[in-house]
Structure 1
Amino acid sequence: MPTAIAVTSRELVLPPTDGQTPAAVVLPPPHEQPLETALAETAALLDREGFLVVLYPAADAAATAQRLHTVRALLESDRIALLPLDLPPLAVAVLARQLRRLSVSDLSPGVLACAARLLTHYLHAGAQLNSVARLEHVPVGLASHVASWLPGAQFGVLAHPTPRLVRVGAGDDTLPAPGYATELTVAHSHPGHPGRTGADWVTGTLATRWRIDDVHQVPLPAESARWWGTGRLTEFTAAIADLSVLYQLVASVRRTECHWCGRELIGDWCAFCSAPMPRADGPRRSATARPALTSRP
């Protein structure tokens, strides 16, 4: 049965890199869509597609997550997987595009939803910033805070998978590189922005050091400024582009059956019903104790 991939903002829908990638579904936040409309549209979507996997930044406003859980609860649906991701906005968009590409394969809905956690390990997400004074998602030392006040200061920041912060042009400004072939998706502040950060370090120095196969320019998500603590930035995400490699990564993981809902899954918990895999050396969850329909971080 088909599986639709959804995000919570139009800015998280990246253009496809081939002619077969399905479009993403956009589930607007509460201030953009009444609850009644959200319920009707989601119900129609489930009737048409069968399953729905929703990706959204864990740093989204609490109202967005509450709306998603409310819709799922009111529809009493076990075919909606809600996956909050502790990633920068652009990385969420890149991951959503990867799942969109995989959704046309023979992966079952349960495996496809669980693949989101697996594929996050192969994303390298960061940004080039003019200031780290308000950066909250990556540890910032006192020296970097002080340097933020210097005119022309630039910083290279890696938020995932291993947090790292370097001063651009200060000698050792190398960020840990992926150990496999990737392409780079880059989003920078609008050209008309009075303090736009140049992307030369990202598309030139960093891309060369990381041996990037290709670079794609996309619009900067609006939430990126809040996530990174500054409106003058160049956000980037390196990710595996080869669909056959992505498929092999997911298909090579041992599949099991969820002991609660019976869906096929990979990993240690079901993305649809949130039931954890029983430990081989521990007690099984009682069949009468239904796991709550809440997302796992």
Structure 2
Amino acid sequence: MPTAIAVTSADLVLPPPDRQTPPAAVLQPPGREHTVEHTLAELQTLLDLHGYVIVLYPASLPDRTVHRLYSARALLESDRIALLRLDLPPLGLATLALQLRQLALCDFSPGVLASAARLLSHYIYAGALLGSVAKLDRVPVSLTSHAKSWVPGSQFAVLATPAPQLVKVSGGNAAAQGPSLLQGPGFGTQLLIARGQLNSDWVTARLAPAWKVQGVAEAPLPAESGRWWATGKLVEFAAAIPDITLLYQLVSSVKREDCHWCGLDLIGDRCGFCTAPLLPREQRGRTHSAAEGRELAAGDTRVLAPGRTRRAIGP
């Protein structure tokens, strides 16, 4: 079974583009009372089925929920659970989760797949059209924009990632002319939108043509979006690479390293599972042999390559 990709609410699960893409696991189904014991049981089941679990959660997730996730992982004493906090808005996070679900079927190791989340997040253009930025604190907002936010009918186009941008839109219809458009991706993307309480076609009529997207699709607005953007008057959007072949090439092009702590493969500068940073190059040679020679616990041997094994703690 491929590595499990998990999210913290069902509205962060997007429909797959094909029948091969595995479903996402939802650790917090709606309408149930959740405890550490319940989360622990869910993670244990996923470990038994998949071996490794990658949990994606938004930065706006309440602290009590985050604490529950980390407590459950600590009780399991497992180094096969990656808890990845992402600054992507909810719709962008849902897009990333879908990309990782597609890549889970490829020949990437769990370590590479987890560390690929940070890489791919830089290629997701996630933002929203907002009716107010008065309470927005996740993107820099000038005093002028704060003041304009109180003017009736004001709307703001905001990009959260990969680089913060904010422009005022002078009205909400297709003919509205703002001082400029948000700077978009220089590569082919598909645009996903989720409509909140803001009645506007600016995203589809102005932004989509300007960004030359390959297609537009709609999804339900995630429940966490109102908290993330500090208003329910919004139209959230996310533009991302839709082609699994390009995503595979992107991840494959990055040099792989060994985590000096848990021994997993990784790309980038940090392990997604144990969060250990990549050591400076001059220190890597003498730490690899130590990581490879660690004792195996609980009788669990996982072969990474000929002549190499890694230590697994529980369960």
Matched, 1:178 2:185: yes
Q: Runs (4+) of structure 1 moved beyond 4 Å? A: 281-288
Q: What is the rounded CA distance, in whole Å, between the counterparts of 2:138 and 2:277 in structure 1?
A: 28
**Which stretch of structure 1 is more off in the superposition, 269-278 or 214-223?**
269-278
Query: How much does 1:265 deviate?
Result: 1.0
Cα distance, 1:63–1:285 mapped onto 2, change above 3 Å: farther
Q: Deviation per CA, 1:67-123, whole angstroms, max 9, x where unpaired?
A: 111111101111100100011111111100110111111111111011000001101
Offset of 1:64 from its aligned partner?
Answer: 1.3
Does residue 1:22 correspond to 2:22, yes or no? yes
Q: Distance in 1 between matches of 2:75 and 2:200?
A: 45
Equivalent position of 1:259 in the other structure:
260
Higher alpha-carbon deviation: 139-148 or 225-234: 139-148
Matches within 5 A, 1:1-297: 2-28=2-28, 32-168=33-169, 169-189=176-196, 196-281=197-282
CA RMSD of aligned residues (A): 2.1
Report % sequence identity.
Answer: 58
TM (norm. structure 2) is: 0.85
5+ residue gaps, structure 1 = 190-195, 291-297
Query: Which residue in 1 is equivalent to 2:307?
Result: none
SS in 2 for 1:87: coil
**Residue aligning to 1:192:** none
Deviations 1:220-266, CA, capped at 9 Å, x for gaps: 01111111111110000000000000000001111112122211111
Q: Is the 8 A contact 1:80 1:272 kept in 2?
A: yes
User: What is the deviation of 1:28?
Assistant: 1.4
Conserved? CA contact 2:167–2:178, under 8 Å: no
| Aligned amino acid, residue 186 of structure 2 | G
Is the Cα–Cα contact under 8 Å of residues 114 and 265 in structure 1 kept in the other structure?
yes
How far apart in 2 are the matches of 1:108 and 1:256? 12
Contact 1:103 1:112 in 2 (8 A): yes
Query: What TM-score, normalized by structure 1, do the two folds share?
Result: 0.90
Distance 1:184 1:170 in 2: 21
Q: Judge conservation of contact 2:37–2:72 (CA < 8 Å) in 1.
A: no
1:156 touches 1:173 (CA, 8 Å); kept in 2?
no
Q: Do the aligned partners of 1:127 and 1:236 also contact (CA within 8 Å) in 2?
A: yes
SS at match of 2:262: coil
Contact kept, 8 Å, 1:29 with 1:67, in 2: the verdict is no
Once the two structures are TM-superposed, the CA of residue 8 in structure 1 deviates from its matched residue by 0.6
Cα distance in 2 between the residues matched to 1:261 and 1:163: 34
Q: Which moved more, 1:33-42 or 1:157-166?
A: 33-42
SS, match of residue 32 in structure 1: coil
SS in 1 for 2:146: helix
Q: Any idea what SS the aligned residue of 2:281 has?
A: coil
Gaps of 5+ in 2: 170-175, 295-315
**Amino acid of the residue matched to residue 25 of structure 2?**
V
**2:44 aligns to what SS in structure 1?**
helix
Where 1:236 maps in the other structure, the secondary structure is: strand
Distance 1:65 1:29 in 2: 15
- Structure with max Cα Rg: 2
Question: In the aligned structure 2, how far is the partner of 1:49 from the partner of 1:253?
Answer: 25
Q: Secondary structure at the match of 2:106?
A: coil
Question: Residue type of the partner of 1:91?
Answer: G
Specify the code of the residue in structure 1 equivalent to 2:192. Answer: T
**Count of matched residue positions in the alignment of Structure 1 and Structure 2:** 283
